[in-house]
Chains A and B, each alone.
Chain A
Amino acid sequence: MTGAAPAAIELSGVSKSFGPVAANRDVSLTVAAGSIHGIVGENGAGKSTLMSILYGFYEADSGEIRVRGEKRAIRSSAEAIAAGIGMVHQHFMLVEPLSVVENVVLGAEGGPWLKRGVAKARAELARLSAQYGLAIDPDATVGSLSVGLQQRVEILKALYRGADVLILDEPTAVLTPAEADQLFELLRALKAQGKTVILITHKLREIMAVTDWVSVMRRGEMVAHVETARTSPAELAEAMVGRRVLLRVEKAPRKRGAPVLEAAGLSVVDGRGHETLRDASLTLHAGEIVGIAGVAGNGQSELLDVLAGLVQPARGVIRLDGKILNAADRNPANLRRLGLMHIPEDRQKTGLVTAFAAAENMILGYHDDPAFGPGPLLSPAAVRNHALSGMQAYDVRPADPALKTAKFSGGNQQKIVLAREIERAPKVLLVGQPTRGVDIGAIEFIHRRLIALRDAGVAILLVSVELEEVMALSDRILALCGGRITGERVADEADERDLGLLMAGVSERAA
């Protein structure tokens, strides 16, 4: 960083520990005034902690903060606001039953009575809305707004408090691609006004698209600091993970075996009488990955649920190894016994009991296994050892079987589910959203595991909202639209446009 103007933010030697876990170790960071500065790192690398320290939400154990060259002690959010720092948290800090304008003035009401402050805020909101094109109804209840608009309220809140430095923590995680592009336009407009923006993300595409500088964090430390124009996604990914990362999945041609799971004419009717899956037929062969492409909510979840025995089909036949499964056979416990394992789409709701320790989660559904203890009893040592070996094999960090599952990052939670199901040597594996909310290093790991399973002769059904992922992993791709299978493609021959048409329900079959 050059130039006479002092840096907007300068952190030096910042450390912060939560109990035995060091979230930030001796971190230094310089953010030039009037720039958009990206901070990347995997989940749990300490980005959010660092920014929470800058925003006064946590106090650092040691280290120094300078704002525009001046040393500041930031012990509370109030002091951060006074120093001209605003933050848009990943989980919005909004009060849903209150109106937009009430949320904006909260904490900056300008006097004991609301009337004057609210009137002033209304005028200021109108001005900011016009200046940055952030149209919003000041009297709308925040809870009734879309996620994109709620984020707009958060940004307006920070601007209303006169923020010069705006921190955004994973702002695009909740946005559609179009909303994300709008947000980037806004960030550029803020920069043009001389504001400084700090953007925390783990999506490299965003870093390349919008930032001037980028800093990389890994395991609580700052490991790189570069000008965005002089770096590449591959280089950043390597810095984030600490080794070379293959952004592409490499796989050998499939060795297709006998059909294992066959479904014919499956239909699912939900509680309100809607047919959410219509007449779906598919065959899974050993040693292949069949991907399901589709916009979320078009029957993928129902397909997974019905195959996993979580819901009963209204019509249709399911065969496993050629044998018809009747209703009594189609329950998750029995299906697991028969070698059909399921990695659910929502690991926190369906895949794990997040309040339980990792070791307990690693035996969920298999707790009757005599290996874990005699009769109705569980042997803590056996459960623990089982968890430990699984966690080591799947590189779960930290490899602590006693740690509450909620305390793991998304990627590590997913690895716990994966370890539990895959270690049982499945014949058929149903996988839903294997890498949703998972960081790059873990994505690569999970992809390689799935390919290895396929090569070992497992039949895999993959459901993912990431079309890229479906195309990279699958051997065959089925498109779902409105609960109906609208087409099938061999993955090597499929292209995004063609699949997009099928996903939109244009059901013509290539001759």
Chain B
Amino acid sequence: MEIVQTLAVILDSTIRLSVPLLCAAMAGLWSERAGVVDIGLEGKMLIAAFASAVIAYKTGSAWAGLGAGIAASVALSLVHGFAAITWRGNQIVSGVAINMLAAGLTVILGNAWYGQGGRTPPLEGAARFGEIELPLVETLKSVPVLGPLYDIAVSGHAAPVYLALLCVVLTALVLKHTRFGLRLRAVGENPAAVDTAGVSVAGLRYAAVIICGALCGLGGTYLAVSQSAGFLPQMTAGKGFIALAAVIFANWRPWPALFACLLFGLLDAIAIRLQGVALPGIGQVPVQAIQALPYVMTVVLLAGFIGKAVPPKASGLPYVKER
């Protein structure tokens, strides 16, 4: 029973910790499958975290915060889209610019408005997403193994967690089974084919970029309004980049991306649990080394395990009608 309990707790924190990664990974997947490389996931999440914390604090409503987070992130997405699609600019440069803008802007505005070193005031009550108890928890509690797993790991998360998981399902479904998904997959591989089939390349890419912004908005909001109780400077801590790594690791497919994100989340969860624990044969490991584990694993996985990652062929290339 002890083991089941421990497992359930680890699984629970795995899910919690992978949600921002998951949102950012789906965001990156949408954008890149349409042929727009986005290294600005990090910046968009950060601005969403800030905007959602500010609005949730002002209005006292977590949902209003989510709306603001998504709006702010989509706005940055459109900047990226404008640069990358309409003006055919370099997508890496535009992404870097967005990351820098978000990192600076959030701290400066936060400091100017609240004077707490860039933090926003703590959120309480309805200004944060509460835990949602799923039905049947009480009924299932008596069932061995499954009961506690359901109670601890599956139930009791905040709304954005379930939304993020829903987004994975929707992403997979839309990409595979809809007209929009087919066109989007095609535009990332050969935009000229889409153009000559009578479909707007720019329209599809803008749609993808907006979806990307909305998903980053969800991820950022989760960080500030659900996982924490307010915005902290640089609170995304490279999650946007780890998510990009997950997308590559998953070969730009939604379900493998989910598992990649859960894997990174699991590493995080284990790292937290290992803090202060003496490992047999090694002894107590410094906290810093353990905290570095997910990042080290990112490097190892990317370097060692993805020999045959094949990105969408037109990824990162602006569409120009060639003579």
Contact = CB atoms under 8 A, between A and B. Distances in A.
* A is bound by B: yes
Interface of A: 18, 23, 49, 55, 57-58, 76-82, 87, 89, 91, 93-98, 102-103, 105-109, 111-115, 117, 157, 407
B186 interface: yes
26 contacts: A57-B195, A57-B321, A77-B196, A78-B198, A79-B198, A81-B197, A91-B192, A93-B196, A94-B193, A95-B185, A95-B189, A96-B190, A97-B185, A103-B193, A107-B197, A108-B197, A109-B182, A112-B180, A113-B177, A113-B178, A114-B176, A114-B178, A114-B181, A115-B177, A117-B179, A157-B197
B199 interface: yes
Nearest to B179: A109
A113 B181 CA distance: 9
Contacts of B189: 95-98
A98 B179 contact: no
B323 interface: yes
Given A76-B198, A77-B198, A113 B179 contact: yes
A479 to B, nearest CB: 40
A120 to B, nearest CB: 13
Contact of B192 (A55, A93, A96, A114): A93
Contacts of B193: 93-95, 103, 106
Contact of A98 (B178, B186, B192): B186
A424 B177 CA distance: 62
A198 to B, nearest CB: 16
A109 B321 CA distance: 24
In the A-B complex, the 8 residue pairs with the smallest Cβ-Cβ separation, listed nearest first, are: A107-B197, A78-B198, A93-B193, A109-B179, A95-B186, A93-B196, A77-B198, A95-B189
A123 to B, nearest CB: 18
Contacts of A80: 198
B157 interface: no
B197 A114 contact: no
A501 B194 CA distance: 47
Contact of A58 (B185, B190, B313, B321): B321
A87 B196 CA distance: 9
Q: Which of A18, A23, A78 has the most CB of B within 10 A?
A: A78
Contacts of A98: 182, 185-186, 189
B183 interface: yes
Q: Which of B180, B189, B196, B199 has the most CB of A within 10 A?
A: B196
Contacts of B313: 96
Nearest to A82: B198
A408 to B, nearest CB: 12
B78 to A, nearest CB: 24
A115 B176 CA distance: 10
Contacts of B182: 98, 102, 105-106, 109, 114
B190 A94 contact: yes
Nearest to A157: B197
A78 B178 contact: no
Given A93-B190, A95-B189, 12 more contacts: A57-B196, A57-B321, A82-B198, A91-B192, A93-B192, A98-B182, A106-B183, A106-B193, A111-B179, A113-B178, A114-B181, A114-B182
B312 to A, nearest CB: 8
Interface string B175-215: 01111111101100110111111110000000000000000
Contact of A112 (B179, B186, B321): B179
A67 B198 CA distance: 18
B190 A114 contact: no
Contacts of B181: 114
Interface of B: 176-183, 185-186, 189-190, 192-199, 313, 321, 323
A107 B187 CA distance: 11
Contacts of B195: 57, 77, 93
Nearest to B310: A97
Contacts of B178: 112-114
Contacts of B180: 112
Contacts of B183: 106-107
B194 A106 contact: yes
Contacts of B185: 95, 97-98
A105 B177 CA distance: 13
Nearest to A86: B196
Contacts of B190: 93-96
B177 A107 contact: no
Contacts of A108: 197
B161 to A, nearest CB: 29
A79 B195 CA distance: 12
A272 B198 CA distance: 46
A113 to B, nearest CB: 6
Given A94-B193, A107-B194, A114 B186 contact: no
Contacts of A55: 196
Given A98-B189, A105-B182, A106-B183, A93 B197 contact: yes
Nearest to B183: A106
A82 B198 CA distance: 9
A81 B179 contact: no
Contacts of B179: 109, 111-114, 117
B175 to A, nearest CB: 10
Contacts of B192: 91, 93
A106 B177 contact: no
Nearest to B195: A77
B171 to A, nearest CB: 15
A300 B254 CA distance: 47
A77 B321 CA distance: 13
Contacts of A57: 195-196, 321
Contact of B198 (A91, A107, A407): A107
Nearest to B197: A107
A113 B182 CA distance: 10
Nearest to A56: B198
Nearest to A104: B197
B177 A89 contact: no
B198 A114 contact: no
Given A93-B190, A106-B186, A113-B179, A81 B321 contact: no
Contacts of A82: 198
Nearest to B322: A91
Nearest to B176: A114
Q: Which of B176, B180, B183, B323 has the most CB of A within 10 A?
A: B323
A450 to B, nearest CB: 30
Nearest to B188: A95
B37 to A, nearest CB: 18
A95 B196 CA distance: 12
Given A97-B189, A106-B182, A109-B182, A18 B323 contact: yes
Given A95-B186, A96-B313, A97-B189, A114 B177 contact: yes
A111 B193 CA distance: 19
A145 to B, nearest CB: 15
Nearest to A89: B196
Q: Which of A57, A80, A95 has the most CB of B within 10 A?
A: A95
Contacts of A87: 196
A102 B197 CA distance: 12
Nearest to B193: A93
A61 to B, nearest CB: 15
B237 to A, nearest CB: 34
A496 B36 CA distance: 53
A18 B197 CA distance: 23
